[in-house]
Amino acid sequence: MHPVEVIEMVSFYAFFDQTPRGRNRIRLSKTPISMMNGAREVAEAFGQSLGIAMGETSLDGMFTLEWTNDIGMADQEPAALVNGMILTSLTPLDVPGIIAALRHEEDGLGLSSYPPTAAQALKLPKSNVRPSLIQAGPLLTRPVVRARGLKAALAMTPEKVIEEITSSKLRGRGGAGFPTGMKWRLTRKSAGKEHYILCNADEGEPGTFKDRMLLAEFPDLVFDGLTIAGYALGSQHGILYLRGEYAYLWETLQETLRTRRSLGLLGANICGRQGFDFDIRIQLGAGAYICGEESSLIESLEGKRGSPRDRPPFPTERGYLQQPTAIDNVETLICAARILEKGVAWFTSYGTKESAGTKLISVSGDCARPGVYEVPFGVTVSELLDLVGGADAIYVQVSGPSGHSVAPKDFGRSIAYEDLSTGGSTMVFGPQRDVLDVAMQFAEFFVEESCGWCTPCRVGTTLLKQGMEKVLAGRATLSDLSEMEALGQTVVRMSRCGLGQSAPNPILTTMRNFPELYEARLAAVPFTPLVTLHDALREAVAVQGREPLSEET
């Protein structure tokens, strides 16, 4: 392997470094939710206490302090990732205790093994992730008995399992909504040395955390689903691609896998079914939103940069290691397990005609009860707001930054593939919030997460962010707005993958749904320069120590 290839890969992921950084790595989440819950104050407290700014490393090499994008804790933010451990509901008052604990080197926190163990985390204040499930529906009603769905599946032929999933009308829960039965059938019938089933647990869409909840609270159901899928498509290998931010779940997930092996639910001749050999391994991501895109996930699994692939060929024909591969969301696999357990009729009795079943919604922001809600498809935004205690919302971001900015006039719209299609992220914003400031933060998010492979996304996301900065500064003109809209549409049409194709959404959908907010910020002139003369002269004033000649700035 060439050094240039190593750097190519390492420099892609936020969690890898090319130069030594602090022994303790403090990464504060900067979702809009984290910000409105006081992340800035927490950051200042860390900064003051360590004597460094965000992005810097302390002189003694003990601490690096930085921002990170979503870490899947939007219901308990401000949250931070410290050496892979999760700290939640932070306030500035927590900071001294956290730093003191980290300085206590004999506890081994600073040199913690990675992934971290629960025992390590116990030594850190605020290292407690609150259970996130607020409302369970039919899918998650307890008790959950391990392997029920699996045993039901193994009583059928693989083809019959796929038939069941197909007639249940189960569609991918990541948001794209591809019919799961069809995906499994296509993968099964593709020729290959091996077949792979991957579980996409790279839930990086800011504001979503339902997969984290499922992995923490229903791991056996996830692995049941994965094993059923393995059986259905004739695979021996299941891989759970776990986002690096969720490394704190590693230990318990591995424990669950060990138990399943000891019970004969993994390994050779599973549940006595001769010839069905299947095992699951877990691979960690390293901080890249794009890896939630299935072809990027495959590249990442192969140890490369997580840049998307061109399709065709689709993963169902040539995916992981060029072999037929099905990739399913955590929630989709749980649905599959339950469908086999409880039957197709049970599943299709919930939801709408085109969206069967229920959906897990991760709710965060300005509402009384943030957390995960299981609701039938078809529920309207206002019903959901009533449920979570967010009735005075002025704006709801459905399906994360890549999704829809929904204004009150559209709160009657429903959560369903045929209307507001969503992976589950639902961020609620109350009357005190600035919609365009949130859109700006989302625009920045895409600048940071664009993989760089293709021009429209790599450059377009930056240009859009700059356009949005002008809007927020009150300097954009009407023609700036129409140019920004045209640029956004070009990025949508020309980008290579879903990231670029949806990156302009925060701007395009707020323009459409909140035009009055843009109008209120317009500069009422036909043209404003890119930079004010005052700003363009600032450096010269500093260097030369005198004021501009002309009064007009």
Partner 1 sequence: MSLLDIDERILELVDLVDLDVSPFDDKKAFDRQVDVGFVEGGCSNEYNVKELREFRKHCRILISVGACAINGGVPAMRNTIGLRECLEAVYLNGPSLEGAGMIPNDEDLPLLLDRVYPSHEIVKIDYFLPGCPPSGDAMWEGLKALLTGKAPTLPYLLCKYE
Partner 2 sequence: MVAASFKFNIDGIEVEATEGQSVIEACDEAGIYIPRLCHHPELPPSGNCRVCTCKINGRHSAACVTPAAHGMVIENDTPQLTSDRRAVIEMLFVEGNHPCPYCVASGDCELQALGYRLGMVAPTQPYQWPERKIDATHPDIYLDHDRCILCSRCIRASRMEDGKTVFGFEGRGIAMRLNVDAQGGLGETQMAAIDKAASVCPVACIVIKRHNYQVPNGSRRFDKTPIGSDIEAKRTRRQS
Partner in contact with 368, chosen from partner 1, partner 2, none, beta carbon below 5 to 8 Å by kind: none
Q: What is the DSSP string of 316-365?
A: TTS-GGGS-EEEEEHHHHHHHHHHHHH-HHHHHTSB-SSSBSEEEEEEEE
CB of 8 to partner 2, least distance (A): 4
| Distance in angstroms (rounded) separating the CA atoms of residues 194 and 198 | 13
C-alpha closest to that of 498 among 176, 173, 70, 186: 176
Can residue 508 be called a binding residue for partner 2 (CB under 8 A)?
Answer: no
User: Which range, of 34-42, 227-235, 338-346, 541-549, touches partner 1 by CB under 8 A?
Assistant: 541-549
Exactly one of 111, 122, 473, 540 binds partner 1 (CB under 8 A); which one?
A: 540
Say which entry of partner 1, partner 2, none residue 5 contacts (CB below 5 to 8 A, set by partner kind): partner 2
**Cα dihedral across residues 139, 140, 145, 150: positive or negative:** positive
Scanning the structure block, which residue is given the tokens 């001769």?
A: 274
- Looking at residue 76, the DSSP 8-state letter turns out to be G
Does 551 help bind partner 1 (rule: CB under 8 A)? no
Site for partner 2 in 275-294 (CB under 8 A): 288
Residues 310-339 that bind partner 2 (CB under 8 A): 310, 312
54 with 66: CB under 8 angstroms? yes
3 state SS of 136? coil
CB of residue 467 to partner 1, shortest distance in Å: 14
Q: Are strands 133-135 and 371-376 parallel, antiparallel or unpaired?
A: parallel
Give bridge partners of residue 363 from the DSSP assignment: 371, 426
548's contact among partner 1, partner 2, none, with CB below 5 to 8 A by partner kind, is partner 1
DSSP category for residue 196 = E
Q: How many CA atoms lie within 13 A of 6 on its CB side?
A: 5
Q: Which stretch binds partner 1 (CB under 8 A): 127-135, 299-307, 344-352, 544-552?
A: 544-552
Single residue of 49, 89, 348, 462 touching partner 2 by CB under 8 A: 462
Stretch that binds partner 1, among 203-211, 300-308, 499-507, 545-553 (CB under 8 A): 545-553
> How many residues touch partner 2 (CB under 8 A)?
37
| Stretch of 1-9, 135-143, 203-211, 237-245 contacting partner 2, by CB under 8 A | 1-9
Q: Which is nearer to partner 2, 375 or 487 (CB)?
A: 487
Contact 380, 354 (CB under 8 A): no
| Contact partner at residue 543 from partner 1, partner 2, none, CB < 5 to 8 Å by partner kind | partner 1
- Distance in angstroms (rounded) separating the CA atoms of residues 151 and 505: 43
E runs forming strands in 388-515: 395-398, 404-406, 425-429
E strand or H helix at 224: helix 219-233
Tell whether residue 538 is a contact of partner 1 (CB under 8 A). Answer: yes
Closest approach of Cβ 532 to partner 1, in Å? 11
The reply to whether 544 sits near partner 1 by the rule CB under 8 A is yes
Q: How far is the CB of 61 from partner 2 (least distance, A)?
A: 23
User: HSE-up of 97 (CA within 13 Å, CB side)?
Assistant: 11
Assess 473 for contact with partner 1 (CB under 8 A): no
Task: Give the integer Cα–Cα distance in Å for 361 and 207.
Answer: 10
Mask of contacts with partner 2, 474-503, x by CB under 8 A?
------------xx--x--xxxx-------
**Distance of closest approach, residue 121 Cβ to partner 2, in angstroms:** 30
* Contact partner at residue 458 from partner 2, partner 1, none, CB < 5 to 8 Å by partner kind: partner 2
Binding positions for partner 1, 513-532, rule CB under 8 A:
526-527, 529-531
Say if CB 420 and CB 414 are below 8 A apart.
yes
User: Counting contacts by CB under 8 A, is residue 482 touching partner 1?
Assistant: no
In angstroms, give the least distance from the CB of 370 to partner 1.
44
Q: Which of 11, 113, 479, 532 binds partner 2 (CB under 8 A)?
A: 11
Q: Which of 169, 183, 237, 305 contacts partner 2 by CB under 8 A?
A: 305
Q: If we measure between CA atoms, which residue out of 541, 512, 282 comes closest to residue 407?
A: 512
111 vs 541, beta carbon nearer partner 1: 541
Compare residues 123 and 458 and give the one whose CB is closer to partner 2.
458
How far CA 352 is from CA of 357, 377, 397, 415, in Å, comes to 8, 6, 22, 10
Q: Is 5 in the site for partner 2 (CB under 8 A)?
A: yes
**Is the CB of 19 or the CB of 550 nearer to partner 1?**
550
Q: Which does 462 bind (CB under 5 to 8 A by kind): partner 1, partner 2, none?
A: partner 2
Minimum distance of partner 1 from residue 537's CB (angstroms): 5
| Contact call for residue 533 and partner 2 (CB under 8 A) | no
Query: How far, in Å, CA of 233 to CA of 297, rounded?
Result: 20
Q: How far apart are CA 252 and CA 552, in angstroms?
A: 65
First to last CA, the chain: 56
Q: Residues 431-460 vs partner 2: string with x where CB under 8 A?
A: ----------------xxxxxxxxxx-xxx
At closest approach, how far in Å is the CB of 4 from partner 1?
A: 24
Count other Cβ atoms within 10 Å, centred on residue 40. Answer: 16
Q: Residue 546: which of partner 1, partner 2, none does it interact with, CB under 5 to 8 A by kind?
A: partner 1
DSSP H or E stretch at residue 233: helix 219-233
Distances (CA, A) of 18 to 9, 112, 165, 283, 447: 11, 20, 46, 22, 21
Q: Where are any strands of DSSP class E within 69-204?
A: 80-82, 85-87, 133-135, 196-201
Binding site for partner 1 (CB under 8 A): 526-527, 529-531, 533, 535-546, 548-550, 552
Binding site for partner 2 (CB under 8 A): 2-5, 7-8, 11-12, 288, 305, 310, 312, 447-456, 458-463, 466, 486-487, 490, 493-496, 530
